[in-house]
């Protein structure tokens, strides 16, 4: 054990570096130095004395990440491999298989293969369960198994996967993957252009500009910009996208911090493309960060009508700090504020409840602000649309279905029962919906709602206290009542669940592009955005033009 420790142990050198950094915090220097000394001596003592073999790197990785986790979800440490992944997320470019994958227990689930990329060319479909990559069994590989699917271009990787209970093998040939920030744009009708902005990588503004110019050339005289489910990304791209629609030297966002150097004002720096074209922006509860800068700024400047539901409320600003040995720290340094002065951030991580959970501001404590033309808008986190749409708000039962893959898994079963639909749009009939509910029941689907989890925890506690036999009858009665309630909620929210099943199926048959083609003809939120643009009286009234 000692030989392994001597080879790997590097913390004192790193700690020395921290001590020099600590000198900039004059008031806290002694406390910082003291705590670092305690930590390094403890770390060395554990690694030299623990009964079993230890991995100092793994211990340090967990220790750092746990420490930062007590601050906010966005202040994070990146080890060497994390740094590679972070760069991929910000550029949208990498060499890999071209598919969205997620780990589920001992398997990697293919969530969505992207058209004409390696996974798609190898025949992988959504729902396939990868169980082996090369010689490595996923069940035996506890680290990030997706890293086994990355490498140099043209590398051939043999994989084994399960599909509908049968085992298959195929070869994946790695290739360059360029994930578009604008995966789709097109015309909804003769005069309305539609642009989907999925995330803010370093090409986002360029791709939106290209789409806008092409749509204008094709005759579009009004635009719908879809930011639904966009988690954000690079700040400068958000500013440049606003700059397409507003003049040079407009304030788009400010950042405020207790540290003076992090207080900044960000303005547009270029000549715009079109400051007059009518613009509607769609947002929902998963539109975050840079999405909220774009929608919030254009709302405050009375440049666009915002439709949907209140956005996520991620208004904390991070910067990356280079550390030793190729590692990085992404640390929260300030908060975002829109041009009117609204703070985008919804949760206050500096003030948590007794359970350590940050709380949202109560609506009665929201503050009022004024847009450029005097419209009243409110803070409280996120961007509240000018026109709220119920369609963008999902019920708790639907969120549970999405979270626990009820819809995703049923779509996989449906796809293989109906493999030849091709370009035809499926129709989810009442019979199909009844089959969906039966599928959930047959597979003992767990919704994991708060009530369901509380009930399970009650039984677990009763078992620990050996009183479960005394309450088993009552427990079963409550469980049955809960199951009936869930069935009722499935029926009550049938329309929105059917829509989500349909959307998942369209991606299975026609990829992402097919889903957006369906949207421009059928999506109710898009239709309402177009209706507002077509009614110039309403549009101008909302924006006080």
Which residues participate in catalysis according to the annotation?
A: 289, 300, 314
The CB-based long-range contact list for 342-345 (8 Å cut-off, 24+ gap) reads 342/296, 342/300, 342/367, 342/369, 342/377, 342/378, 342/379, 343/315, 343/379, 343/381, 344/292, 344/293, 344/296, 344/313, 344/314, 344/315, 344/381, 344/382, 344/383, 345/313, 345/314, 345/315, 345/316, 345/381
Side-chain half-sphere CA neighbours of 360 within 13 A: 14
> Contact, 180 vs 207, CB < 8 A?
yes
Which run of H or of E encompasses 324? none
One-character DSSP codes across 184-238:
EEEESSSSEEEEE---B-TTHHHHHHHHHHHHHHTT--EEEEE-TT---B-HHHH
Nearest to 60 by CA among 113, 131, 3, 9: 9
Q: What are the two backbone dihedrals, phi and then psi, of residue 518, each rounded to the nearest 5 degrees?
A: -65, -40
DSSP-derived letter for residue 425 is: P
Give me the residues paired with residue 478 across strands.
Answer: none
- Residue recorded with tokens 């700024």: 297
User: Among 381, 385, 391, which residue's Cα sits nearest to residue 493?
Assistant: 391
Q: Return the structure tokens found at 341.
A: 């002065």
Tell me if residue 57 falls in helix, strand or coil. helix
DSSP type of residue 448: -
Interatomic CA distance for residues 119 and 101, integer angstroms: 11
How far apart, in Å, are the Cα atoms of 531 and each of 67, 280, 361? 50, 10, 33
CA atoms within 13 A on the CB side of 137: 3
Cβ atoms 439, 408 nearer than 8 A: no
Q: How many CB atoms lie within 10 A of CB 51?
A: 6
3-state SS, residue 488: helix
d(Cα 253, Cα 239) in Å, to the nearest integer?
Answer: 8
C-alpha to C-alpha distance for 131 and 406, rounded to whole angstroms: 21
């Amino acid at each position: 054990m000692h030989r392994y420790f001597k080879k790997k142990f590097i913390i004192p050198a790193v700690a020395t570096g921290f001590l020099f950094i600590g000198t900039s915090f004059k008031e806290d220097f002694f406390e910082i130095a003291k705590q670092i000394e305690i930590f390094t001596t403890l770390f060395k003592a554990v690694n030299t004395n623990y009964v079993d073999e230890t991995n100092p790197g793994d211990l340090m990785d967990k220790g750092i990440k746990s420490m930062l986790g007590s601050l906010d979800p966005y202040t994070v440490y990146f080890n060497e491999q994390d740094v590679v992944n972070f760069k991929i997320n910000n550029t949208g470019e990498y060499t890999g298989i071209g598919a969205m994958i997620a780990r589920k227990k001992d398997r990697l689930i293919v969530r969505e293969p992207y058209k004409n990329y390696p996974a798609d060319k190898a025949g992988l479909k959504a729902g396939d369960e990868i169980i082996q990559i090369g010689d490595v069994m996923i069940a035996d590989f506890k680290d990030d198994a997706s890293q086994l699917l990355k490498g140099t271009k043209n590398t051939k990787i043999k994989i084994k996967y399960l599909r509908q209970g049968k085992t298959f093998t195929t070869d994946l040939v790695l290739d360059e993957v360029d994930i578009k920030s604008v995966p789709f744009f097109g015309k909804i009708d003769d005069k309305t252009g539609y642009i989907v902005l999925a995330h803010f990588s370093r090409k986002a503004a360029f791709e939106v500009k290209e789409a806008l110019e092409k749509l204008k050339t094709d005759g579009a005289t009004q635009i719908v910009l879809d930011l639904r489910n966009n988690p954000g990304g690079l700040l400068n791209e958000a500013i440049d996208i606003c700059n397409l629609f507003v003049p040079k030297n407009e304030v788009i966002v400010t950042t405020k911090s207790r540290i003076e150097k992090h207080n900044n004002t960000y303005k547009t720096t270029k000549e715009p493309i079109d400051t007059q074209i009518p613009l509607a922006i769609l947002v929902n509860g998963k539109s975050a960060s840079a999405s909220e800068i774009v929608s919030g700024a254009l709302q405050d400047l009375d440049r666009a009508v915002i439709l949907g539901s209140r956005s996520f409320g991620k208004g904390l600003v991070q910067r990356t700090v280079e550390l030793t040995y190729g590692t990085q720290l992404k640390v929260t340094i300030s908060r975002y504020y829109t041009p009117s002065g609204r703070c985008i951030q919804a949760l206050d991580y500096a003030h948590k409840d007794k359970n350590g959970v940050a709380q949202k501001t109560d609506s009665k404590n929201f503050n009022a602000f004024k847009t450029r033309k005097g419209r009243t808008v409110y803070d409280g986190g996120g961007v509240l649309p000018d026109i709220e749409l119920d369609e963008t708000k999902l019920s708790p039962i639907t969120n549970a279905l999405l979270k626990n893959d009820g819809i995703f898994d049923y779509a996989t079963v449906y796809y293989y029962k109906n493999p030849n639909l091709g370009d035809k749009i499926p129709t989810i009939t009442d019979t199909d919906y009844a089959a969906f509910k039966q599928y959930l029941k047959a597979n003992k689907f767990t919704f994991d709602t708060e009530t369901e989890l509380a009930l399970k925890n009650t039984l677990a506690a009763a078992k620990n206290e050996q009183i479960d036999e005394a309450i088993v009858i009552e427990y079963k009665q409550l469980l049955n009542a809960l199951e009936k309630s869930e069935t009722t909620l499935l029926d009550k929210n049938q329309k929105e669940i059917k829509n989500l099943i349909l959307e998942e199926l369209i991606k299975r048959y026609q990829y992402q592009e097919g889903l957006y083609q369906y949207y421009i003809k059928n999506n109710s939120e898009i239709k309402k955005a177009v209706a507002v643009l077509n009614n110039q009286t309403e549009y101008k009234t909302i924006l006080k033009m």
